């Protein structure tokens, strides 16, 4: 299990990465990598401020700001919450 430090967030990319259930296609102009993923762990926050995202949220984020790791055969992305742009509701 990954326990992020401070304001870091762990994301798990969607299985069918570029498509949401409702058929939404998410693409990023800069590198064509999908930018939507599900939050799987959030850090405790920084300087007493808790984070705004929670486990289970679907989020869009700046793809270039992530560190990609493979853990237990799954890919995860870790980034700071400030690089998350928005929560996707109804996805």
**Residues making contact with its own copies (CB under 8 A):** 1-6, 8, 10, 22-30, 35, 41, 43, 52-53, 60, 62, 67-73, 78, 81-82, 84-90
For 70, the token pair is: 């493979």
Nearer to its own copies, 15 or 85 (CB): 85
Q: How far is the CB of 13 from its own copies (least distance, A)?
A: 13
User: In angstroms, what CA-CA distances link 76 with 5, 24, 51, 71, 90?
Assistant: 15, 21, 19, 7, 22
Question: 42: which residues sit within 8 A by CB, 6+ positions away?
Answer: 4, 9, 10, 51, 53, 54, 55, 81
Nearer to its own copies, 5 or 15 (CB): 5
Q: How far is the CB of 15 from its own copies (least distance, A)?
A: 18
Q: How far is the CB of 68 from its own copies (least distance, A)?
A: 4
Q: What angle do CA 29, 33, 79 make, to 5 degrees?
A: 105
Nearer to its own copies, 15 or 72 (CB): 72
């Amino acid at each position: 299990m990954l326990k992020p430090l401070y304001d870091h967030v762990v994301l798990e990319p969607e299985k069918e990465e570029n498509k949401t259930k409702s058929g939404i296609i998410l693409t990023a102009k800069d590198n064509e990598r999908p930018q939507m993923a599900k939050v799987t762990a959030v850090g405790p926050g920084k300087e007493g401020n808790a984070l705004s995202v929670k486990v289970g949220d679907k989020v869009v984020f700046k793809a270039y700001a992530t560190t990609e790791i493979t853990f237990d055969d799954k890919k995860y992305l870790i980034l700071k919450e400030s690089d998350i742009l928005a929560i996707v509701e109804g996805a």
